Amino acid sequence: MSDASIPSSDNSEDEFNDDLDLSTLDDAELTAQMHDDLYDGMGEEIGEGTQILLGRGWSAEETLNKALVAGMKVVGDDFRDGILFVPEVLLAANAMKVGMEILRPLLAETGVEAVGRVVIGTVKGDIHDIGKNLVGMMLEGAGFEVVDLGINTDVDSFLDALDEHNADILGMSALLTTTMPYMKVVIDTLIERGKRDDYIVIVGGAPLNEEFSLAVGADAYCSDAAIAAETAKTLVDERRAALAAS
Ligand code: B1M
């Protein structure tokens, strides 16, 4: 919980949250409360808070950045630091999705650009998707548009989706030592087709490491979802800065 938590009068936080009328809070109190609610995975409250801010004239972009993305940053940092664990992060990410669903059509209307677009999938032969889903949610939380191809994704599906969605980043996940080499198949095919430099490639999954990612020709290995979101943002920023300078 952040320092900005509003004190409970009866020592029962759950009861307090049930009773709390979000519409009585001013903007600063409400965004702080929403950060806490995200942290606690309270989707209904996130939806309500999002609607209240929009009703007060906040833009979709401001609501996204100040109420949701800022709250998810705390979740991501605490996940990275071992303070939060997978179940809590999944709950927070699901709560975030409630707010995102409300904002998504408004953001599309106002033409607010996503930070970047990511095509992500678990590689061919592999059906593990919990970690990949978490990465997708954290990327969305960081402002990326995510195209999730699901599990057992073959090279043609990856390449077609990159092309179709004009993606900035290809993200591949693998949990099996037998499936992780397939990442090289995908990257080699990008090279063969002269498209490797068109995309940033990030990879992750429990059996991978930095050395493996270098060996297959990826741009970055990400050990967890929070690092994946941070790395994606850094690499997209660097790439845009390099393009602008050239
Ligand atoms: Co399987 N499984 N499994 N499994 N499974 C493992 C991976 C295993 C290590 C278990 C073990 O033996 N100790 C082992 C692999 C051994 C190996 O290859 N060295 C294994 C095996 C052998 C198998 C089967 C072959 C079992 C069998 O049928 N005999 C089979 C394979 C099926 C297939 O894929 N073809 C199988 C099946 C399954 C289930 C279906 C039962 C289930 C998957 C359910 C699902 O995903 N929907 C399952 C599960 C749950 C696991 C374990 C227990 C947990 C995996 C998990 O979800 N972790 C796993 C043991 C383990 O890892 N301790 C195991 C939580 C998740 C949040 O972490 O996925 O690592 P993780 O993701 C992290 C990071 O790795 C990273 O960020 C995530 C969040 O921080 N990350 C990325 C992941 N992808 C990323 C992508 C990025 C960046 C970061 O950028 C794009």
Cβ atoms of 45 and 17 within 8 Å: the answer is yes
Q: Whose CA is nearest to atom 78 of ligand 1?
A: 131
pLDDT of residue 18: 62
Specify the pLDDT at position 142: 83
Which of 86, 130, 148, 175 has the most ligand 1 atoms within 8 A of CB, as the residue to mutate?
Answer: 175
Q: Is the CB of 225 under 6 A from ligand 1?
A: yes
- Closest ligand 1 atom number to CA of residue 79: 80
CB of 38 closer than 6 A to ligand 1? no
Ligand 1 pocket member 76 (CB < 6 A):
no
123 CA to centre of ligand 1 in angstroms: 12
Separation of alpha carbons 180 and 122, rounded Å: 10
CATH code given to domain 117-245: 3.40.50.280
| Mean pLDDT of the chain, nearest integer | 89
Mean pLDDT to the nearest integer, 22-44: 96
**Residue 150 Cβ contacting ligand 1 at under 6 Å:** no
Question: What is the DSSP annotation of 116-177?
Answer: -EEEEEEBTT----HHHHHHHHHHHHTT-EEEE--SSB-HHHHHHHHHHTT-SEEEEE--ST
Distance 174 CA to ligand 1 centre (A): 8
- Mean pLDDT across 98-112: 77
For the Cβ of 206 lying below 6 angstroms from any atom of ligand 1, the answer is yes
Q: Is the pLDDT of residue 210 over 90?
A: yes
Instruction: Grade residue 234 by pLDDT with cuts at 50, 70 and 90.
Output: very high
Q: Which residue has the higher pLDDT, 232 or 2?
A: 232
Give the residue, 225 or 10, on which the prediction is more confident: 225
Q: What is the pLDDT of residues 166-198, one digit of tens each?
A: 999 999 999 999 999 999 999 999 999 999 999
What is the Cα gyration radius of the chain? 19
pLDDT the model gives residue 137: 80
Residue 202 has pLDDT above 60, yes or no: yes
Q: Which of 1-10, 95-104, 148-157 has the highest mean pLDDT?
A: 148-157
Per-residue pLDDT tens over the stretch 117-129: 999 999 999 999 8
Instruction: Give residue 9's pLDDT.
Output: 37
Q: Is the pLDDT at 112 greater than 80, yes or no?
A: no
Domain map of the chain by residue range? 15-110, 117-245
Q: How confident is the model at residue 231 (pLDDT cuts 50, 70, 90)?
A: very high
**pTM listed for this prediction:** 0.80
Question: Chain centroid to CA 211: how far?
Answer: 25
Q: Quick one: fold of 15-110?
A: 1.10.1240
End-to-end C-alpha distance for the chain, whole angstroms: 44
**How many of the other CB atoms lie within 10 Å of CB of 39?**
21
